[in-house]
Chain A
């Protein structure tokens, strides 16, 4: 089964008390969420030293909100999981919390926020957890109501985990349809772990997208990768009747679920003459 949380249960059920507790106890989660929020704030390009009113979409336990507070901003958070919001109450975050589903639209009057951030929440909109859910419609409703609730020249930055290219395309096309300008910024595109996707949406006319982190050495990495691929292909299968060949064959049989003797130091050895 896939490891992606979106494939396991709807967000209001997946983020139960056990899952919510991780967000107060697991220092790794706290650190990563903090770093991603910092980067979101950087991408928001807010006026310097001005306290702003921000919207946190999928605020959860308020980890991202804490970072917003540290930067001197006030925030209002939306989340669908009441267990996560309970944790936010426990942590005594300063922001105000609202239990709502972002796919039903952002329930605010026009022009009230100076910016919006969202950390690891957007990918949930691709799910159809109920019969009545239509992901494309929900995305459009979300983006159009968000567009309305932002003040002009405000930005919205979403860190998210897309599953494939199609999702990226759908996301940007629906955001453009709702009136936003912008696109996806990919930080550290060549790293499996540090790679992060940020959807940067702008309301006030098109401006150049911010530069992604860790891309200047792209060319050299590209070359290394292709050379490694080539040498891998050249090596090919191990020589027949060798120990390596035998081990590979046994491994293959194991994967097929066939009965296979365990690998020992005797595997692939010639019998001695005494037998």
Chain B
């Protein structure tokens, strides 16, 4: 699971959970894969992200070094910033571990990089 996905994923499908965001990450295995750098895509996606959540997520899996805590107001022209954002968003992948819902404490296992968000009958709204 890439951190861009984590930045959008919620557990609001659970019964009784209102926002279910952000999910806490507990990673046991993190891998880094090469992805082509696309500055246009990154600068389009940054306004949609919750930067604080991204920073905390990166910190919790130990990949926040060099990542600024706030968005550079002129990020479109700052290639260094975009490259760092690209690395954290698309190249860092959580392979094994689990996500935890902030409201109910329900854990969603991640295996082979795929988070399992399947719910049991009792958990469905």
Contact = CB atoms under 8 A, between A and B. Distances in A.
Interface of A: 50-53, 74, 76, 80, 82, 85-86, 89, 94, 96-101, 104-105, 107-109, 111-112, 130-132, 141, 145, 149, 151
A104 B114 contact: no
Contact of B13 (A53, A104, A109): A104
B18 interface: no
Contacts of B74: none
14 contacts: A50-B40, A51-B44, A82-B114, A89-B113, A98-B1, A98-B5, A99-B117, A101-B118, A104-B119, A109-B8, A130-B121, A131-B121, A132-B121, A149-B8
Nearest to A94: B35
B113 A104 contact: no
Contacts, number: 84
Interface residues of B, number: 32
Interface in B80-97: 90
Interface of B: 1-2, 4-5, 8-13, 20-21, 35, 38, 40-41, 44-45, 48, 50, 90, 112-119, 121, 124-125
A74 B38 CA distance: 10
A85 to B, nearest CB: 6
B21 to A, nearest CB: 6
B115 A99 contact: yes
